[in-house]
């Protein structure tokens, strides 16, 4: 991976505050929660890079400080389980969302935002940008992903970006620098996608942190084993004396109008956040129980059909739950086909 250069000295890291429990000042019901130690504000001017595996410029974490990050989501059940575990521990993370996944599960990504986490982007379809034939194709993949994530959230998102497979290039770095988008590598890669085992994920993260003393941790909220690991991992982090730092941008991401327009074909009816009518104003129960006929006659006995999940709002390339994977065998994802 290429080293960063150029106008990165303009980037600044500002300690916003040190909080005893939650970054959004909501009371925490868990007296033993991991919480958030401090929040840092990132000036993304010039496209600074974070994560010493590839970018060596900004060593801002103090000993025993950790930044939690999750890639590739959102995904039904697994991202929701990760969110529940983070909420139980009153702590925060960065979620680097894929554009197609964001439009497939916008309600989950809006929950990520509502819970106070930081949301960045991870391309449109998880493409390895080094393998794109032209720079224009790589830029299209980056920008479509940004526009899709912002559209799915329905509000501001961070100008934070992580390359799929951590595969940058001089051309894509330069593009993100001109767009004032911060780039993220990692310090501790959990390799949860490779081993798909909760116990292994916990041990790998804690062992690596104990060796380095601090760092940005990379995990994947689409992995079922990671969803299982996160509750115990957060407890282990506290037991080992680690503290969570949340990274937030000084200014929100500014998407490009041409890409905002381009991704609308994949939105298919998604309302802007806050514009939807409340469900109760659209659907109202007017009868409960077995008596469904007029006059109170009992309805004939019927076999209750198996409930099925409604299709996600965006239908283009939405991953199935079968593809979401299990711990038994690797799955084929849409971006690997």
pLDDT at res. 265? 87
- Band of residue 111 on the pLDDT scale cut at 50, 70, 90: very high
User: pLDDT tens digits, residue range 171-195?
Assistant: 999 999 999 999 999 999 999 999 8
Phi-psi region of 24 (alpha: psi -120 to 50; beta: other; left: phi over 0): alpha
pLDDT above 50 for 10: no
The number of CA neighbours under 13 Å toward the Cβ of 24 is 13
Residue appearing with tokens 């689409």: 222
Please state, in angstroms and rounded to a whole number, the distance separating the CA atoms of residues 212 and 50.
16
User: pLDDT tens digits, residue range 227-273?
Assistant: 999 999 999 999 999 999 999 999 999 999 999 999 998 887 787 76
pLDDT at res. 332? 45
pLDDT above 70 for 318: no
Burial (CB count <10 Å: 0-12, 13-18, 19+), residue 237? buried
Least confident of 51-55, 94-98, 145-149, 290-294: 290-294
Q: Between 249 and 18, whose confidence is greater?
A: 249
Q: Between 297 and 213, whose confidence is greater?
A: 213
- Phi and psi dihedrals of 13, rounded to 5? -115, 120
Q: Go through the domains of the chain in sequence order and give each one's CATH number.
A: 8-23+34-265 (3.20.20.370)
pLDDT above 60 for 6: no
Q: What is the DSSP string of 71-137?
A: ES---TTHHHHHHHHHHHTT---EEEE-HHHHHHSHHHHHHHHHTT-EEEE--SS---GGG-SSHHH
User: pLDDT tens digits, residue range 58-108?
Assistant: 999 999 999 999 999 999 999 999 999 999 999 999 999 999 999 999 999
DSSP H helices in the chain: 78-88, 99-104, 106-114, 135-153, 170-178, 192-195, 198-212, 224-239, 257-262, 279-282
318-326 mean pLDDT: 40
Share of the chain above pLDDT 70, in %: 76
pLDDT above 70 for 330: no
Please state, in angstroms and rounded to a whole number, the distance separating the CA atoms of residues 29 and 226.
24
Q: Is the distance from CB of 226 to CB of 82 less than 8 angstroms?
A: yes
What predicted TM-score, i.e. pTM, was given to this entire model? 0.79
- Band of residue 317 on the pLDDT scale cut at 50, 70, 90: very low
**What is the b/e burial string over 175-212, where b = at least 16 CB atoms within 10 angstroms of the residue's CB?**
bbbebbbbbbbbbbbbbbbebbbbebbbbbbbebbeee
- Band of residue 277 on the pLDDT scale cut at 50, 70, 90: low
pLDDT above 90 for 126: yes
């Amino acid at each position: 991976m290429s080293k960063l250069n150029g106008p990165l000295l303009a980037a600044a890291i500002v300690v916003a505050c040190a909080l005893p429990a939650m970054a959004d000042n909501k009371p925490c019901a868990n007296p033993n929660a991991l919480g958030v130690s401090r929040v840092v504000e990132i000036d993304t001017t010039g496209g600074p890079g974070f994560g010493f595996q590839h970018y060596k410029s900004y060593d801002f974490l103090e000993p025993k400080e950790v930044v939690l990050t999750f890639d590739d989501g959102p995904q039904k059940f697994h991202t929701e389980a990760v969110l529940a575990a983070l909420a139980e521990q009153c702590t925060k993370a960065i979620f680097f969302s894929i554009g197609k996944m964001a439009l497939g599960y916008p309600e989950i990504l809006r929950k990520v935002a509502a819970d106070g986490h930081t949301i960045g982007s991870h391309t449109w379809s998880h493409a390895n940008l080094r393998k794109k034939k032209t720079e224009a194709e790589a830029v299209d993949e980056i920008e479509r992903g940004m526009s899709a994530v912002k559209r799915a959230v329905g509000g501001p998102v961070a100008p934070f970006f992580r390359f799929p497979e951590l595969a940058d290039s001089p051309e894509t770095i330069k593009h993100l620098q001109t767009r004032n988008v911060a780039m993220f590598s990692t310090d501790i890669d959990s390799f949860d996608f490779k081993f798909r085992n909760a116990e292994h994920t916990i041990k790998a993260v804690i062992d690596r942190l104990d060796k380095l003393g601090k760092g940005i941790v990379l995990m994947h909220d689409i992995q079922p084993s990671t969803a299982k690991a996160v509750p115990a991992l957060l407890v282990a982090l506290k037991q080992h004396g680690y503290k969570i730092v949340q990274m937030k941008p000084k200014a929100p991401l500014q998407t490009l109008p041409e890409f905002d327009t381009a991704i609308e074909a994949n939105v298919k009816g998604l309302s802007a956040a806050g514009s939807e009518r409340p469900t109760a104003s659209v659907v109202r129960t007017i009868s409960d129980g077995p008596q469904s006929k007029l006059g109170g006659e009992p309805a004939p006995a019927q076999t209750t059909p198996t409930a099925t999940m409604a299709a996600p709002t965006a239908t283009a390339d939405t991953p199935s739950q079968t593809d979401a994977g299990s711990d038994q065998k690797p799955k084929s994802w849409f971006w690997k086909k």
